[in-house]
Structure 1
Amino acid sequence: MIASSSRKPARSPRSCAASGSRRPSGGRAFSASSAEGTPPPSASWRPEGPSGELGRVEVAEPRSKLPHPAPSLPTDPALYSGPFPFYRRPSQLGCFSLDAQRRYHGDAQALRFYSPPTDGQGPNFDLREGYPDRYQPRDEEVREGLDHLLRWLLEHRGGLEGGPGWLAGAIVTWRGHLTKLLTTPYERQEGWQLAASRFQGTLYLSEVETPAARAQRLARPPLLRELMYMGYKFEQYMCADKPGGSPDPSGEVNTNVAFCSVLRGRLGSHPLLFSGEVDCTDPQAPSPQPPACYVELKTSKEMHSPGQWRSFYRHKLLKWWAQSFLLGVPNVVAGFRNPEGFVCSLKTFPTMQMFEHIRNDRDGWNPSVCMNFCAAFLSFAQNTVVQDDPRLVHLFSWEPGGPVTVSVHRDAPHVFLPTWYVDAMTQELPSPPQDTVP
């Protein structure tokens, strides 16, 4: 995709150390007391569900050609209300950037720096300014899958803590895929599909766009497209290109550009290697060590009644919590906009305190349920995808109100691990592709 000539001049590449990264001193389990009020167990958690709730399994090809699929997984929140499971605080392994043409760079050149207003006045940011003339949205028809994360993995697998062998027992995915798992027990509108393949012992999870999601995207109304722009425009008002700098909202909003953190963590018995996009880093953060220095930026409409706040806490705050908790981002800064599209107020939501807004709401969400279901799904996937074959895909599907089901597929169009990755990982001395990844 070609960027507009009005985009900002290119910055000199930074290394991941530009964010103040230090060598991690060791992972620490997130305390459930910060989210639930009870201490976490020291061992992995396994939910107990009632028998007889197994859904019908779909099989895409004759059983003689494919492994026997596993049963389905229920999603009722009541089944996952046990103690908060062990979750190791994620530690950053590295990072990468995507430029205005969505090209990969193994550095921190796209990292931005948190620079909020300092004059004490209301922000009065015009989130409609520049739309649509200075807006370059990413081409959503290009399905990137795990490609950028896989390229980072090829470049760094030899330097992973514990050696390349650690990867054989891990789950590799995007943070956004895990976020969808966390919110599943409370989701009532949008289903999902996750493709899974095992290769050299590692389980890879990659989201597949559902037919309903594709139809919704193609029919996206103009107002929703403008609201999406406003979220990115807010980031432009709140971020600078260098520490201590001032934001420049006059430039192009190009959603191809992204800075991504790559992290290592553990949920229950499941080692995780995952990546997520980061909005900015705070040069004044108490800890300069990623991800503790990162800040998530969000927008929402102004709230004027207790009922509006209650709905906000039940629905939007759940997704904000799941997204930031997984990555270890300590704070979400929200800009509340009026009907004219101006940000009238800013509010900081500490991630570890979000649950307090909903703790006494009978119809609210529970962090333990979210994390326990995610752990249960990862166990379900690990026990289902047993054959080591990058061309064999188990497709996990879920629609609100039902269980997670699985179908089995082989080869195109379901395969998502690219040939360049499989070939390079198979070689004794792997090398990343030469600009073959979009």
Structure 2
Amino acid sequence: MSFPVRPPVSYKGEFPTYAQPAEITSYSIDHNRQVWFDDRELKYYYPPNGKDLYVGFDKFIKRDESIPEHIDTLLDALTNARQKASNPQLAQADIVTWRGIMTKIMCTPTTRNEPWMLRATRHKNTIYIEEQAMDEKKRNEADLPIKEQMQCYGGYRFETLCTLSKPPSKVQKGDPELLQRLNDSADTNIQYCVVVKTKLGKNSLIMGAEVDCSRDVKRVGEKSNPLQNYVELKTSRLIENSRHQSSFERFKLKKFWAQSFLVGVPRVICGFRDDQGLVQSVEEFKTMEIPRMVRNKPGLWEPVVCLRFANEFLDWLQTVVVEDDPTVTYIIEWKAPWHEITIRKESIPQPFITQRYIDGETSHEIGGPRVSSSTSSYKSLE
């Protein structure tokens, strides 16, 4: 079975409904990759007092991405949220996935050269989606020249230069943390994640997303909206000519907007670096104003195309991922010649839902047994 990907112009029209995202819960992953259902790893934005993005590259601690973590932490966070909530239905949705996966889907009609592969499974009428790492992508990343590795590192280093462990109101001149971050390296084992709920068209969505930092103290409660203070931190090459400008608008701004819009993050702060890895300027973009920057420019993306395509894709997915059994998985693939997205049932069962999720349990450890066919249909999530 396949889903045709038409030219972008065919997706123009009225915007589908997209509900204001609401945070369900949040959690932290520490330097040992242990999961904590609290805000201990939440960082706060504070303007950078340094420029060098390549400092500490030799001490870079990079998460071992050869170890598949699936959507384990997201599932544990949902279980924890259901246990704490007075209304467990708040943590139920038609689709459960990562924000990054929805970003790939939304950008697909205007990105015809970036393949992706997903795995999907249905359980109790919810479709769960994870990304399947592609062998070619793994090889390419492993063989990156040192210069490109340093540029990738620079993005993480920028986060180090822009964040502190305390709110800005508590930072004083000469704070030791301000000095420390000048020489700090990056550690991608550490993450702070939120889980949000929204609705696209007729499909309710729950997405997990890593959040770089907050502008203020996080407040929780019935009337609070922690999403309004979150900030995405990005880096990009310094724009020096029209070609750089076109590339930035066509590729970077599209992803900046999609990532932040999906989970209701209102601001993107970007450090523009030169070829030596020095930040030459820092600029703030308001998420909802980004589409205006590319409006009516020939050959560029439009938000309505992204949203209408994603809406149609999710509606189609509901009609093909039909077997309600978490031990049954479907492979969804987008690749050359870029005409259609294909789906097939996996011939050898490789479930990615954890058994503890089925049993309504959580763990501080990522990993653990996957659901087995003997128990998948009989345990309650409640």
TM more than 0.5: yes
How many angstroms does 1:418 deviate by?
Answer: 2.2
| 2:326 aligned with 1:390 | yes
Conserved? CA contact 1:73–1:380, under 8 Å:
no
Equivalent residues of 1:116, 1:238 under 8 A apart: yes
Amino acid at match of 1:240: L
Q: CA deviation at 1:79?
A: 2.6
2:362 counterpart residue number:
432
Q: How does 1:32-71 map to 2 (within 5 A)?
A: 57=1, 71=2
Q: 2:127 aligns with which of 180, 196, 203?
A: 203
Normalising by structure 1, report the TM-score.
0.77
1:141 to 60, 66, 70: 66
Match of 1:129 in 2: 55
Give how far 1:107 is off.
0.6
TM-score, structure 2 normalization:
0.87
Note closer, same or farther for the CA distance 1:332–1:368 as it changes in structure 2 (3 Å cut). Answer: same
Residue of structure 1 in register with 2:35 after alignment: 104
Correspondence for 1:218: 142
Per-residue Cα deviation, 1:266-311 (whole angstroms, up to 9, x for no partner) = 11101111110000000189x9732110011111111112332122
Q: 2:243 is matched by which residue type in structure 1?
A: G
Aligned to 2:19, the other structure's residue is in SS state strand
Q: What SS class does the counterpart of residue 236 from structure 1 fall into?
A: helix
- Tell me, in whole angstroms, the C-alpha distance in 2 between the residues paired with 1:190 and 1:226: 22
Matched, 1:277 2:202: no
Q: Distance in 2 between matches of 1:219 and 1:386?
A: 39
In structure 2, relative to structure 1, the CA distance for the partners of 1:434 and 1:258 (3 Å cut) is closer
- Is the Cα contact below 8 Å between 2:328 and 2:346 reproduced in 1? yes
Q: Could you report, residue by residue, the CA deviation over 1:222-241 in whole angstroms, capped at 9, with x for unpaired residues?
A: 22211111111111111111
Counterpart pick for 1:349 among 285, 288, 291: 285
Tell me how far apart the structure 2 counterparts of residues 284 and 76 of structure 1 sit (CA, whole Å).
Answer: 44
The 1:166/1:329 distance shift into structure 2, 3 A limit, reads closer
Q: 1:5-30: per-residue Cα shift (whole Å, max 9, x none)?
A: xxxxxxxxxxxxxxxxxxxxxxxxxx
Q: Mind listing any 5+ residue stretches in structure 2 that lack a counterpart?
A: 172-176, 369-382
Contact 2:117 2:331 in 1 (8 A): yes
Letter of the 1:408 partner, please give it: K
Asked if the contact 1:75–1:184 (Cα under 8 Å) also holds between the matched residues in 2, the reply is no
* Conservation of the 8 A alpha-carbon contact between 1:392 and 1:410: no
CA drift of 1:162 comes to: 4.9
Contact 2:4 2:339 in 1 (8 A): no
More helix by share: 2
Indicate how the Cα distance of structure 1 residues 302 and 221 shifts in structure 2: closer, same or farther if over 3 A, else same: same
Task: Give SS of 1:392's match.
Answer: coil
Q: Which amino acid aligns with 1:116?
A: P
Q: Secondary structure at the match of 1:276?
A: strand
Structure 2: distance between partners of 1:365 and 1:388: 36
Q: Alpha-carbon deviation of 1:314?
A: 1.0
Q: Distance in 2 between matches of 1:211 and 1:254?
A: 25
Aligned to 2:273: 337
Q: Is the 8 A contact 1:391 1:411 kept in 2?
A: no
The offset of 1:420, in angstroms, is 2.8
Q: Which amino acid aligns with 2:189?
A: N
The Cα shift of 1:166 comes to 6.7
Where do 1:231-250 residues align within 5 Å? 231-244=155-168, 245=171, 246-247=177-178, 248-249=180-181, 250=183
Pair 1:156 & 2:93 matched:
no
| Counterparts in 2 of 1:105 and 1:124: CA distance versus 1, 3 Å | closer
Return the alpha-carbon distance in structure 2 between the equivalents of residues 409 and 78 of structure 1: 33
1:106-131 CA distances to partner (integer Å, 9 max, x unpaired)?
Answer: 111110001115xxxxx651111111
CA shift in 2, pair 1:302/1:195, >3 Å: same
Is 1:79 the counterpart of 2:10 in the alignment? Answer: yes
Cα 1:144/1:435, change in 2 over 3 Å? closer
Where does residue 229 of structure 1 map in the other structure?
Answer: 153
1:113 lines up with 2:44 in the alignment: yes
Partner of residue 408 from structure 1, selected from 342, 345, 354: 345
Q: What is the aligned length?
A: 355
* Residues 124, 344 of structure 1: 8 Å contact kept: no
Q: 1:161 to 1:347 in 2, by over 3 A?
A: farther
1:251, 1:288 → 2: CA distance? Answer: 33
Deviation at 1:436, TM superposition (A): 5.8
The aligned residue for residue 301 of structure 1 is 237
Alpha-carbon distance change, 379 to 304 in structure 1, aligned in 2, over 3 angstroms: same
Tell me the secondary structure at the aligned position of residue 353 of structure 1: helix
- Residue 228 of structure 2 aligns to a residue in which SS? coil
Residue 216 (structure 1) shift = 1.5
- Residue type matched to 1:149 in 2? L
Specify the alignment match of 2:373 in structure 1. Answer: none
Tell me, which stretches of 5 or more residues in structure 1 are unaligned?
1-56, 58-70, 118-122, 425-429
TM-align CA RMSD: 2.2
Give CA-to-partner distance per residue, 1:30-62, whole Å, 9 cap, x none. Answer: xxxxxxxxxxxxxxxxxxxxxxxxxxx4xxxxx
Question: Distance in 2 between the 1:341 and 1:171 partners?
Answer: 40
Once the two structures are TM-superposed, the CA of residue 347 in structure 1 deviates from its matched residue by 0.7
Q: Look up the match of 2:301.
A: 365
Per-residue CA deviations over 1:370-419 (Å, capped at 9, x if unaligned) read 0111111111111111111111111111115221111111554x321123
Q: Match for residue 116 of structure 2? A: 192
Identity of aligned residues (%): 33
Q: Which residue of 2 aligns with 1:255?
A: 188
- Deviation digits for residues 119-149 of structure 1 (CA, Å, limit 9, x no counterpart): xxxx6511111111x2101101011110000
- Whichever residue aligns with residue 260 of structure 1, its letter is C
CA distance in 2, matches of 1:313, 1:436: 37
Counterpart residue type for residue 313 of structure 2? F
Which range is displaced more, 177-186 or 208-217?
208-217
3-state secondary structure, aligned to 2:39 = coil
